[in-house]
Amino acid sequence: MKSKKKIVLAYSGGLDTSIILKWLQENYNAEVICYTADVGQEIDRKKIFKNARKLGVKNIIIQDLKDIFVKDYVFPMIRGHAIYEGVYLLGTSIARPLIAKDQIRVAKKYKAYAVSHGATGKGNDQVRFELGYHYFGPKIKVIAPWRIWDLKSRTDLINYAKKNNIEIPKDKKGAPPFSIDDNLFHTSTEGKALENPKNFAPEFIFQRTISPEKAPNKPSFITIDFKNGDPNGINGKKLSPAKLLQKLNLVAGKNGIGRVDLVENRFLGIKSRGVYETPGGTLLINAHRAIESVTLDKETMHKKDVIMSRYAELIYNGYWFSKERIKLQKTVDLKRNKVNGSVKLKLYKGNVIIHSRITKSKAYSMQKVSFEENKSFNKSNVERFINFHKTKL
């Protein structure tokens, strides 16, 4: 007897992907394999297995990618100081390429002919997933239900779920909920009251940060240690990439750090309003810039600043695996071996304050910068320097 074709679905166990699972079974006469990438989001393993098995799924895969995610995706992005449109630290964007890559790995392992995702037809994630799918599995078919099915509204989805005995969470009955995405690096919230930019973000939507007003009245201090451009410890204690970020998230979140409310320009041209929480990432990017300020030369630092906007845009648009992003990463990492030392941060009511920078690097010279007279800096050359630049006016 000929075996059924296989589809690997990016599956969360929630209402939307459970509906997609059932819809794929009905419309493609295929065995669906449920795949969940653990990149540090809140995962209910029992719910994933329960809901998938209820719909007859035999293969349910939950892959722990937390350390890979932080080490090979978040850290390189931090080295590039990537910030999209001035404020967004790209928390959702940076997770999608890894998920797509590993989903294709699973598809190849099980000889699946197709992969599927639950990204909506208006958002960026469909682009990010599918560019990753194409890079690692160009011959594997992509099924994007939100672009092709007849379910046009939340009411349609609820009715479909009821018809197929799919559990509907209480908070999803009636009006659509806030759309939430989270991983070890960030949490994003969109939809509902946030769709109108005149509305202030309600406090209850925040997942991992308290409001600056309710943060402690005394500052917290934390030291981040760096080796070859990457953080490798906190307060002198070495930690794995995932555990390091987890600890930074907790400390920063308790001090009301890492909140951003923005209206961004999506890759598809739509403007959308979202609220992002990136507590540990906010500490990392501040500390990394601080350690580079005392370890890298001016030319290298300024070159990185010039390319940062384009580098961030490539990540936002889903081009993590592109030749251009990889080329820019080489520029970013040109002298990362010089970026060693530690930065002590003062955290107070939503603020990140550089307390001190410690390094063995000689890029910063106290002798040259001193207000005391010394022979390490030849001031007689300054007039020639100024006269040369007058010719460029």
What tokens were used for 94? 């940076």
| Pairing assessment for the beta strands 30-38 and 60-64 based on DSSP bridges | parallel
d(CA 199, CA 275): 12
Residue identified by tokens 């006469």 is 29
CB 131 within 8 A of CB 158: no
Which one is catalytic: 102, 125, 182, 230? Answer: 125
Nearest to 233 by CA among 108, 344, 332: 344
> What 3 state SS string does 229-278 have?
CEEEEECCEECCHHHHHHHHHHHHHHCCCCEEEEEEECCCCCEEEEEEEC
State the DSSP H helix or E strand holding residue 85, giving kind and residue range, or none if neither: none
Which one is catalytic: 12, 93, 96, 128? Answer: 96
Which one is catalytic: 179, 220, 293, 309? Answer: 179
d(CA 383, CA 369): 18
Q: Is 333 a catalytic residue?
A: no
**DSSP symbol at 88:** B
State the DSSP H helix or E strand holding residue 65, giving kind and residue range, or none if neither: none
Residues ≥6 apart with Cβ < 8 Å to 185: 40, 69, 70, 74, 89, 91, 94, 95, 245, 278, 280, 281
d(CA 376, CA 369): 9
What 297-301 contacts at long range (C-beta under 8 Å, 24+ apart), as own/partner pairs, is 297/335, 297/363, 300/334, 300/335
State the DSSP H helix or E strand holding residue 36, giving kind and residue range, or none if neither: strand 30-38
Three-state secondary-structure class, residue 297: coil
What tokens were used for 362? 């000689």
Q: Is 38 a catalytic residue?
A: no
Residues ≥6 apart with Cβ < 8 Å to 202: 193
What tokens were used for 139? 């011959």
Q: Is 16 a catalytic residue?
A: yes
Q: Is 154 a catalytic residue?
A: no
d(CA 90, CA 41): 15
Which one is catalytic: 16, 102, 181, 230? Answer: 16
Residues annotated as catalytic (active site), given as ranges: 16, 96, 125, 179
